[in-house]
């Protein structure tokens, strides 16, 4: 060979293609080969050389393997765009698959499988059949993988030709490479179908264990990963598997080690003998630690997995905390993971050592890492009661260095420590206050203000301190404003003197009149009313003892943890997310006609009974009766005028089940209001019943709604007659969406806050649940094709899942009827034969024009419904989960 291949990249002039064409048809082999190389070079840099297809394919019939491989490389790339021409190559492929040279046979089968053209696959079957039984293991192992390739293109063909059976036979092949590839192919096929293809019975298990020792390292991983699907019969079965797998922990390949750990961790669950368990944990610890000597990329994967393992079995690395100390040259992603594990392993025994480390980290250069280190000290304080004081001392040392972001981070964690150990460490407040004016981050400011408010009675100049923040109240971020408000109230309640009284006035005025933030305003009103009606109650509420906190940051839910442990050494264990959250479903089994169930859409009335009503979300929010008239002016806005309006209350004669009670008679001087949101004929109505259990007739009813997620507002004035004592009246108030929207950026809330007044009584406030199903639009039905397309076009990050654990679907037809009536439209249904589960696809549309794509997975009659929602605005998902849950429960 002459010269360097890089020269092939240099020809970029015009007549290039023509020149290449000539060279490809040259009679000199070397020239031909050079030309093909040039073509490949052009191909790899993204130039289109597909017009040379015929000329390149003509070079295929050659004895020269090097040239043949180059042509194949070209073919794989362009066959798809030239399917008709690709057929030209078939003859050579078929001929090659019978070549005496095993390399050529394998090459032919491998390449044919990569050409994803339907027409070619038919010709592939015969050669594949032969190659699966070839004498040469290299050919067999290539053919094994080729079955998976073919299955991906045409699963029926694979089944019809019995390739699956042949593939299963290959598990017993004499050559371990062949076994490994057969296992890989079967596992992949199993994953893309719901049929049971790769049954892991004890016979197969035995074969896999036997092949394990002989295989290449990659084959060992395939086999171990398959083994992890095996459910051992009993403790003895589990022990015998573990015994065979344990030697793999000594492998130099980290993937083999981690996959072995997965198998062992799983079988450990079944092993009952504590001695065996202890012994196994002892054996696993050194190899796990050794993973941290690998390249940083692999260390990262190992650390994410170790994080899970120590949550489940904290003792395994309890004595190894030193190996998780950060090295100065660790990449940041490794350092942050080590920090997490250090916190998890911190104990009374090693905390001094750990604190020394954290303190060092807190003076490093990387700001993000420093912050996390400071936070880690606080988390240890919360976790280890006996070490709390030492942690605080370290934090105080750090504050003294006066590095701004360290100070702020320290104050944030000290606030948590104060919550965890109330009335224990106030002595340090003076030190904290020294840094007051350097705070410029909202979270740090808010934390400091919380501390001042909480200990207002112990800080002599608490009022001065708070006042210094007040000057900038309107400019502060919401987080700080809320804390200032609460702290001012606490101060006033603890020191009801003149200074604080003036301050509270200023704060309340600011928070009610000068703000657009509904949270702040609502909280201010609540405080205001509490203070003006019953200061003692205010004390009970505002100064109530708070529940003890614990460090649960980064602690996983036990059921999620178990699921992730089953996925050790997979991406799932690195992301700490279950696979279905991020694995894309490009291979959703096509919906089969015979499995579908179409339901006619009927314009029936929806009358969902009784969604449970929730009270106001905050404990401080329960309103007490008090005549605070100025609030009415503010909240009611006074544009709803009831005078002179005719009041034909709609008849309450409907035989609907009792509506949930929204306002209790006992709390509202005898006025009881019950009601719920319903959707009828494309309109939303608030179906309300007013029951006067008091002693005076009530009239002049008005209603107003606070800004809410869907901007629901009354479509007409509330039309009610005078209600005599002992009687009731009902009305259906039309509601119009998108009228009363909160400022952009306000988080979604499922509550609807309502104010009602009449001529005789003060304003009553209550909160109703905002049922998402009431705003499902009538035109939410979409075509199946469009559904699939939309589903595919949305990234997976837009899919949100939830399992409704206790929800049961007794009957699919009734459900569909119900859903249809509620504007949740049926798209398709399929059956998962293996698990006997149903999958329903639905579409829903929210105003103004937001489609939600829905997938329900469940077994009829069994509790547990998996709901997946895919939409461009996933923040609606939680509301939707509640809505669908209610809809299902209402059938």
Q: Which of positions 491-550 make contact with other proteins (CB under 8 A)?
A: none
Residue 422 interacts with other proteins (CB under 8 A)?
A: no
Q: Find all residues with CB under 8 Å of 216, minimum gap 6, and list them.
A: 176, 177, 180
Q: Min. distance of Cβ 65 from other proteins in angstroms?
A: 5
Q: Min. distance of Cβ 251 from other proteins in angstroms?
A: 6
Site for other proteins in 11-30 (CB under 8 A): none
For the four alpha carbons of 80, 83, 85 and 91, in that order, the dihedral sign comes to positive
- Angle CA 755–760–762, to nearest 5: 40
What does 431-447 look like in DSSP terms, one character per residue?
HHHTTGGG--SHHHHHH
Q: Min. distance of Cβ 125 from other proteins in angstroms?
A: 17
With CB under 8 A as the contact rule, the residue among 325, 405, 421, 455 that binds other proteins is: 325
For the chain, the first-to-last Cα distance in angstroms comes to: 78
**What number of chain residues touch other proteins (CB under 8 A)?**
95
Site for other proteins in 572-631 (CB under 8 A): 572, 574-575, 579, 582-584, 586
Would you say 286 or 682 has its CB closer to other proteins? 286
From residue 459 to residue 498, the character string flagging contacts with other proteins as x (rule: CB under 8 A) and all else as - is ----------------------------------------
Residue 48 interacts with other proteins (CB under 8 A)?
A: no
Determine how many CB atoms are found less than 10 A away from the CB of residue 540: 12
Site for other proteins in 696-715 (CB under 8 A): none
Site for other proteins in 766-825 (CB under 8 A): 795-797
Site for other proteins in 386-415 (CB under 8 A): 400-402
Would you say 332 or 696 has its CB closer to other proteins? 332
Site for other proteins in 54-113 (CB under 8 A): 65-66, 69-70, 73, 80, 103, 110, 113
Distances (CA, A) of 63 to 31, 88, 104: 15, 18, 9
Residue 571 interacts with other proteins (CB under 8 A)?
A: yes
Residue 843 interacts with other proteins (CB under 8 A)?
A: no
Q: Min. distance of Cβ 539 from other proteins in angstroms?
A: 44
Closest C-alpha among 219, 118, 128, 108 to residue 171: 219
Cβ atoms of 763 and 839 closer than 8 Å: no
With CB under 8 A as the contact rule, the residue among 92, 512, 569, 837 that binds other proteins is: 569
Q: Min. distance of Cβ 291 from other proteins in angstroms?
A: 8
Would you say 274 or 329 has its CB closer to other proteins? 329
Chain centroid to Cα 91, Å, comes to 50
Q: Min. distance of Cβ 393 from other proteins in angstroms?
A: 15
68 by Cβ neighbours in 10 Å (0-12 / 13-18 / 19+) ranks as: buried
Determine how many CB atoms are found less than 10 A away from the CB of residue 719: 17
Q: Min. distance of Cβ 214 from other proteins in angstroms?
A: 10
For the four alpha carbons of 475, 476, 482 and 486, in that order, the dihedral sign comes to negative
From residue 229 to residue 268, the character string flagging contacts with other proteins as x (rule: CB under 8 A) and all else as - is ---------------------xxxxxx-xxx---------
Span near other proteins by CB under 8 A; candidates 91-99, 213-221, 612-620, 750-758: 213-221
Residue 763 tokens, joined: 């304003």
Would you say 256 or 772 has its CB closer to other proteins? 256
Q: At what angle do helices 254-268 and 296-312 cross, to 10 degrees?
A: 10
Q: Min. distance of Cβ 292 from other proteins in angstroms?
A: 9
Site for other proteins in 714-773 (CB under 8 A): none
Would you say 23 or 687 has its CB closer to other proteins? 23
Residue 276 interacts with other proteins (CB under 8 A)?
A: no
Q: Min. distance of Cβ 99 from other proteins in angstroms?
A: 15
Would you say 579 or 625 has its CB closer to other proteins? 579
Residue 438 interacts with other proteins (CB under 8 A)?
A: no
Q: What residues form DSSP beta bridges with 802?
A: 867
Instruction: Classify residue 773 by its DSSP letter.
Output: G
Phi-psi region of 41 (alpha: psi -120 to 50; beta: other; left: phi over 0): alpha
With CB under 8 A as the contact rule, the residue among 231, 278, 327, 654 that binds other proteins is: 327
Would you say 174 or 468 has its CB closer to other proteins? 174
Residue 289 interacts with other proteins (CB under 8 A)?
A: yes
What does 586-642 look like in DSSP terms, one character per residue?
TTPPPPPGGG--------PPP----PPP---SSGGG-------HHHHHHHHTTT---
Site for other proteins in 112-171 (CB under 8 A): 113-114, 116, 138, 141-142, 145, 148-149, 152
6 by Cβ neighbours in 10 Å (0-12 / 13-18 / 19+) ranks as: exposed
Would you say 187 or 746 has its CB closer to other proteins? 187
Alpha helices (H) along 295-363: 296-312, 332-345, 351-361
Would you say 139 or 750 has its CB closer to other proteins? 139
Residue 181 interacts with other proteins (CB under 8 A)?
A: yes
Would you say 1 or 653 has its CB closer to other proteins? 1
Cβ atoms of 869 and 851 closer than 8 Å: no
Would you say 425 or 575 has its CB closer to other proteins? 575
Q: What residues form DSSP beta bridges with 858?
A: 838, 865
Q: What residues form DSSP beta bridges with 688?
A: 675, 731
Alpha helices (H) along 79-154: 83-96, 102-114, 118-132, 137-153
Span near other proteins by CB under 8 A; candidates 238-246, 297-305, 685-693, 852-860: 297-305
Round to whole Å and give the CA distance between 277 and 427.
47
Would you say 615 or 795 has its CB closer to other proteins? 795
Residue 730 DSSP SS3: strand
Q: Min. distance of Cβ 326 from other proteins in angstroms?
A: 8
Residue 363 interacts with other proteins (CB under 8 A)?
A: yes
Across the beta sheet with 751-757, the strand order is 702-705, 751-757, 764-769
Cβ atoms of 566 and 266 closer than 8 Å: yes
Closest C-alpha among 841, 850, 845, 863 to residue 773: 845
With CB under 8 A as the contact rule, the residue among 157, 190, 218, 778 that binds other proteins is: 218
Closest C-alpha among 702, 710, 715 to residue 754: 702
Q: What residues form DSSP beta bridges with 752?
A: 768
Q: Min. distance of Cβ 138 from other proteins in angstroms?
A: 8
With CB under 8 A as the contact rule, the residue among 570, 689, 709, 773 that binds other proteins is: 570
């Amino acid at each position: 060979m002459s010269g360097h291949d890089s020269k092939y990249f240099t020809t970029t002039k015009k007549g290039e293609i023509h020149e290449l064409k000539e060279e490809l048809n040259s009679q000199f082999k070397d020239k031909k080969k050079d030309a093909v190389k040039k073509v490949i070079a052009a191909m790899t840099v993204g130039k289109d050389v597909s017009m040379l297809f015929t000329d390149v394919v003509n070079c295929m019939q050659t004895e020269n393997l090097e040239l043949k491989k180059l042509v194949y490389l070209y073919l794989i790339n362009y066959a798809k765009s030239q399917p008709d021409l690709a057929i030209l190559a078939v003859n050579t492929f078929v001929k090659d698959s019978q070549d005496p040279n095993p390399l050529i046979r394998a090459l032919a089968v491998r390449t044919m499988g990569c050409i994803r053209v339907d027409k070619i696959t038919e010709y592939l079957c015969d050669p594949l059949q032969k190659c699966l039984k070839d004498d040469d293991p290299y050919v067999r192992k290539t053919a094994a993988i080729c079955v998976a390739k073919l299955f991906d293109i045409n699963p029926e063909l694979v089944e019809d030709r019995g390739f699956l059976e042949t593939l299963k036979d290959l598990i017993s092949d004499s050559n371990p490479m062949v076994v490994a590839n057969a296992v890989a192919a079967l596992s992949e096929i199993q994953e893309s179908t719901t049929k049971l293809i790769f049954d892991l019975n004890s016979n197969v298990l035995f074969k896999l264990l036997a092949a394990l020792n002989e295989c290449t390292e990659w084959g060992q991983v395939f086999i171990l990963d398959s083994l992890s699907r095996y459910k051992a019969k009993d403790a003895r079965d589990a022990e015998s598997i573990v015994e065979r797998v344990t030697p793999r922990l000594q492998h130099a390949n980290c993937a083999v080690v981690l996959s072995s750990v997965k198998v062992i961790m799983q079988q450990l669950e079944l092993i009952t003998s504590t001695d065996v368990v202890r012994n196994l944990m002892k054996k696993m610890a050194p190899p796990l630690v050794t993973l941290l000597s690998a390249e940083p990329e692999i260390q990262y994967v190992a650390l994410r997995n170790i994080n899970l393992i120590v949550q489940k079995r904290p003792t395994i690395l309890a004595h190894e905390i030193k190996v998780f100390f950060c090295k100065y040259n660790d990449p940041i992603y490794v350092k942050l993971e080590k920090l997490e594990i250090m916190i998890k392993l911190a104990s009374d025994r090693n905390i001094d050592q750990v604190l020394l480390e954290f303190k060092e980290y807190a003076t490093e250069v990387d700001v993000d890492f420093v912050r996390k280190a400071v936070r880690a000290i606080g988390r240890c304080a919360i976790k280890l009661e006996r070490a709390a004081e030492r942690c605080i001392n370290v934090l105080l040392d750090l504050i003294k260095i006066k590095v701004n972001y360290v100070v702020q981070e320290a104050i944030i964690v000290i606030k948590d420590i104060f919550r965890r150990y109330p009335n224990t460490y106030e002595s340090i407040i003076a030190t904290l206050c020294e840094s007051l004016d350097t705070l410029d981050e909202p979270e740090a400011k808010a934390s400091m203000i919380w501390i001042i408010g909480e200990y207002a009675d112990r800080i002599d100049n608490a009022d001065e301190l708070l006042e210094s923040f007040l000057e900038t109240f309107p400019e502060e971020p919401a987080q700080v404003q809320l804390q200032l408000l609460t702290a001012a109230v606490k101060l006033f309640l603890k020191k009801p003197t003149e200074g604080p009284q003036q301050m509270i006035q200023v704060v309340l005025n600011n928070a009610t009149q000068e703000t657009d933030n509904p949270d702040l305003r609502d909280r201010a009103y609540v405080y205001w009313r509490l203070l003006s009606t019953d200061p003692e109650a205010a004390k009970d509420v505002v100064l109530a003892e708070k529940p003890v906190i614990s460090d649960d940051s980064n602690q996983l839910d036990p059921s999620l943890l178990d699921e992730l442990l089953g996925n050790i050494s997979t991406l799932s264990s690195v992301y700490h997310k279950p696979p279905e959250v991020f694995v894309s479903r490009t291979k959703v089994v096509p919906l089969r006609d015979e499995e579908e169930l179409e339901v006619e859409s009927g314009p029936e009335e929806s009358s969902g009974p009784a969604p449970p009503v929730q009270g106001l979300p905050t404990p401080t929010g329960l309103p007490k009766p008090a005549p605070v008239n100025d609030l009415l002016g503010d909240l009611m806005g006074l544009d709803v005028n009831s005078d002179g309006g005719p009041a034909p209350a709609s008849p309450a004669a409907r035989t609907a089940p009792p509506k949930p009670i929204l306002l209790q008679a006992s709390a509202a001087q005898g006025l009881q209001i019950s009601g719920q949101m319903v959707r009828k004929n494309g309109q939303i109505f608030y179906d309300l019943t007013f029951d006067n259990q008091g002693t005076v007739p009530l009239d002049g009813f008005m209603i107003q709604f606070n800004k809410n997620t869907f901007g629901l507002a009354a479509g007409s004035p509330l039309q009610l007659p005078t209600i005599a004592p002992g009687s009731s009246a009902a009305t259906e108030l039309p509601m119009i969406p998108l009228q009363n929207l909160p400022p952009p950026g306000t988080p979604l809330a499922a509550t609807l806050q309502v104010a009602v007044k009449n001529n005789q009584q003060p304003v009553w406030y209550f909160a109703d649940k905002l049922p998402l199903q009431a705003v499902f639009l009538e035109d939410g039905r979409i075509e199946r094709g469009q559904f699939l397309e939309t589903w595919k076009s949305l990234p997976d990050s837009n899919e949100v899942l939830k399992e409704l654990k206790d929800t049961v679907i007794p009957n699919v037809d009734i459900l569909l009827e119900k859903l249809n009536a509620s504007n949740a439209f049926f798209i398709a249904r399929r059956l998962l034969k293996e698990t006997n589960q149903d999958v329903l696809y639905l579409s829903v549309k929210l105003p103004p024009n937001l489609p939600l794509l829905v997938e329900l997975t469940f077994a009829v009659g069994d509790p547990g419904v998996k709901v997946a929602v895919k939409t461009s605005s996933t923040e609606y998902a939680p509301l939707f989960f509640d809505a669908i849950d209610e809809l299902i429960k209402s059938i």
